[in-house]
Chains A and B, each alone.
Chain A
Amino acid sequence: MIGFAVTIALCLLALSLAATAMRGLSMASVAIYGSSALLCLALVLVGAGTLLTHADASGMRIPIGLPWLGSHLHLDALSAVFVTLLGVGGAAASAYAIGYGRHEHEPHRVLPFYPGFLGAMVLVLLAGDAFTFLLSWEIMSLLSWALVLTNHRADETRKAGYLYLVMAGLGTMLLLLAFGLLAGSGGGYDFAAIRAAKHSPALAALVLALMMLGAGSKAGLVPLHVWLPVAHPAAPSHVSALMSGVMTKVAVYGFMRVAFDLLGPVHWSMSVPVIVVGALTAVMGILFANVDGDGKRILAFSTIENIGVIFTALGLALAFRSSDMPVLAALALTAGLLHAMNHMLFKSLLFMVAGAVLNATGRRDLDELGGLIHRMPKTAFLALIGVMAITALPPLNGFVSEWLLFQAVLQSPKLPQPGLQFLVPAVGGLLALAAALAAACFVRFFGVIFLGRPRSDVARDAVETDRWSLAAMGGLALLCVLAGILPGFLIDLMAPAVDLAVGARVPVQGGNSWFTLIPVAEVRSSYSGFLVMVFVAISGGAVAWLVHRLASRRLRRAPAWDCGFPNADPVTQYGAGSFAQPIRRVMAPLLGARETVTMPPPGDMSAARHGVQTEDMAWRFCYQPMIAAVFYATTRLNALQFLTIRRYLTLVFGSLILLLTGLTIWN
């Protein structure tokens, strides 16, 4: 299996090189995206095959890389879950890109980086030593950075690219430190060696904190999320889908690999920061999504929310595991993994929808769209499924994972630590708040884009998107429905990975009658998405039939009631800003929102102006002090640039002594 997986990864990387050679060929785009899609499908086979056959972990070593280490590659159940996730997301994004890529002005700015980006992500998942992991991680970051810069002429994009590069660099540096600590001064960078070594509690805490910062910056944990809502939307939509749907999950994988596998058991207090940061991320992400006016940015903010939900689940799993309750840990971890999979499905779908709308209208701003359900009925239908899934409406897939997570939250009184007993229900409240805000956010997203009357000429003249895009979106929508009504199969599929991470699994779901989900025997709750679907279909269908059969079937079209203000302009419709205003006012301190009203002096006929500025608080309280500190330090250190040779030599000698002393003390 591992050989097959590595071959696919290398093929994807080679495809990148081929793309540079194929520059200028007219069929290059179809060839590259088509072969990427096929390779990703093969990845699904590898990942799902490994999980289905309960294959043992397999590894191999390639003699490239560090001379004494080589490159270890390794495929176990945990990697396989994420490989499957990547395969599905990558295949859908590539198929979508076959159609979407035709509209690209400069395809050679995307093509050479796209397959390599996929390949690098596969290598991160397969990495069996810290060196391979970090190298692939950095290639992934750099290639995605290049993809973000596709539309490099826009000033915003260049800023986004710069911010992303800085944050990615910071993240990799922190990961490097984390792995350095794990490997110890002996330099055992192989994951097997790290796993075998004993880690002191203080070191484990430090490593976990570094992983939270390093992997969290890639995943988008608050307050390291600032780059995500600018960089993800700047890329072409299929790349946005990959970055939001898949790359953030690769970061989640990195965190899981260290926190659950390499680090060994950790103290329960380590789970507190993960849970708290996860819940705060969920709420802050969705709050920002509620007040933003740009369709793709809303989706990026919602990614932050979902990452928060996933990290909360991981934190709960850590808490349960450290208190020796492996079954409940398995429940929380299953919820987290399932949510990662589900989020990949619906977020990719929604980014593709945003891309289709962008292609049809050239607009991302919600307040310039509207009424697209008439012009793009198929896209609208698929978008509705995506929106229902992401708002966690039963019987779709988003609900299943959130339901599982709430089941885990409801088990928190069983935890022995009073601190967690208080904390986790509060976190449950925050998650419920986030879910409610997500519903408001996506009613706004779908309603303003697809419903109502068009707010601009381009929206009025939009045309349905191409078949490839529709097929990719349709596939994802179908998977959203299937994962919602038959979640037991996915849970069974993921069970080996859960077992690997926490040493237990939730009961086998495959044999339950009516596809009912019974997460843990001690949790006396069950849920059957299949039956809910059947119930809704039967009752809805029966009522529709009865009403049409028995009641009047006459239908009259009439102008909408206009409340006595005829010929209202479409801009007077309830728009994105109207939805945002109450939340923005209530949450103004959190969102850093300021409203300014400039009134003309009396007698002046010019218009009054009402402006809104929102500023992410992370900038003011986290980044600006940090930037100031860096500036201060660099100006001070500038003196070191103008020393005499004697002083330089002293400096070098002094630092050598200092480092050696440090090393001696550590050992």
Chain B
Amino acid sequence: MELIENIVLQALQMLVVLTLAPGLTGLVRKIKARLTRRRGASVLQPYRDLARLMRKEVVLAENASWLFRVSPYMIFAATWVAAALVPTFAIGLHFSWTADLIAIVALLGSARFFIALAGMDVGTSAAATHVAAKIR
């Protein structure tokens, strides 16, 4: 019973993080815009962007391999798990003992790692240059 409660709470926590994350991006953008005396897009804009992107087709470079298709999910999963390990509204969950701060850093590092590989996959100089700047 306790285990089920734990799992439910953990899932709720993960969902809260997930649903709030685009809002936070929107908020940051809004504040940035206001600070530079622009009106800026609505706070909800990232949600709309995501919904739009979901409906769009996937465009793959001719040279892209399976790694390019898998990477986004790996990046997402690693970041999400890292976020799930940070307590937001519930503390003392069994799963918060899964890993510590070092592991969270390493999980975010994994996300970086896959971004870098995805950037190199297509084989154009521009993408890889950005990647190289990113991993340092």
Contact = CB atoms under 8 A, between A and B. Distances in A.
Contacts of B59: 556-558
A618 interface: no
A132 B69 CA distance: 56
Interface string B77-111: 11011001000000000110111101100110110
Contacts of A391: 109, 113
B63 interface: yes
Given A373-B67, A443-B135, A561-B124, A451 B117 contact: yes
Contacts of B129: 574, 578
Contacts of B98: 514, 516, 526-528, 531-532, 535
A558 B95 CA distance: 43
A33 interface: no
Interface string A503-545: 0000000000010100000000111100110011101100110
B81 A539 contact: yes
Nearest to A410: B102
A403 B61 CA distance: 38
Interface residues of B, number: 52
A597 interface: no
Given A451-B120, A561-B124, A572-B125, A439 B109 contact: yes
B81 to A, nearest CB: 4
Interface stretch (A212-220, A222-230, A562-570): A562-570
Interface string B58-81: 111111111100000110111011
Of listed B98, B100, B122, B128, residue having the most chain A CB within 10 A: B98
Contact of A574 (B94, B97, B125): B125
Given A532-B98, A558-B60, A559-B62, A371 B123 contact: yes
Of listed B94, B131, B132, residue having the most chain A CB within 10 A: B132
Contacts of A388: 110, 113
Nearest to B112: A439
Classify chain A's interface size. 35 or more
Given A440-B135, A451-B120, A543 B76 contact: yes
A574 B128 contact: yes
Contact of B60 (A436, A550, A552, A557): A557
B57 A552 contact: yes
Contacts of A452: 63, 120-123, 128
A573 B126 CA distance: 8
B128 A552 contact: no
B55 interface: yes
B122 A560 contact: yes
B37 interface: no
A393 interface: yes
B56 interface: yes
A550 B50 CA distance: 12
B54 interface: yes
A560 B131 CA distance: 16
Contacts, number: 181
Given A557-B62, A560-B124, A563-B124, A394 B113 contact: no
Interface string A422-437: 0000000000000010
Contacts of A380: 65, 67
A543 B73 contact: yes
Nearest to A512: B97
B136 interface: yes
A528 B123 contact: no
B104 to A, nearest CB: 9
A219 B116 CA distance: 32
A436 B67 CA distance: 22
B76 A394 contact: no
A554 B57 contact: yes
A436 B135 CA distance: 9
A554 B100 CA distance: 40
A456 B64 CA distance: 18
Contact of B81 (A399, A451, A535): A535
A594 B74 CA distance: 40
Nearest to A583: B136
A578 B116 CA distance: 14
Contacts of B109: 391, 393, 436, 439
Interface string A359-391: 000000000001101100100100010001001
A447 interface: yes
A453 interface: yes
Nearest to B111: A393
A554 to B, nearest CB: 4
Contacts of B117: 443, 446-447, 451
Of listed B59, B64, B123, residue having the most chain A CB within 10 A: B123
Given A451-B123, A573-B123, 14 more contacts: A377-B65, A399-B103, A439-B109, A443-B113, A443-B116, A443-B135, A451-B117, A531-B95, A535-B81, A543-B77, A555-B60, A556-B57, A556-B60, A561-B61
Interface of B: 14, 54-67, 73-74, 76-78, 80-81, 84, 94-95, 97-100, 102-103, 106-107, 109-110, 112-113, 116-117, 120-126, 128-129, 131-132, 135-136
12 contacts: A388-B110, A393-B109, A399-B103, A451-B67, A452-B120, A536-B77, A536-B78, A539-B76, A557-B61, A573-B124, A574-B132, A582-B132
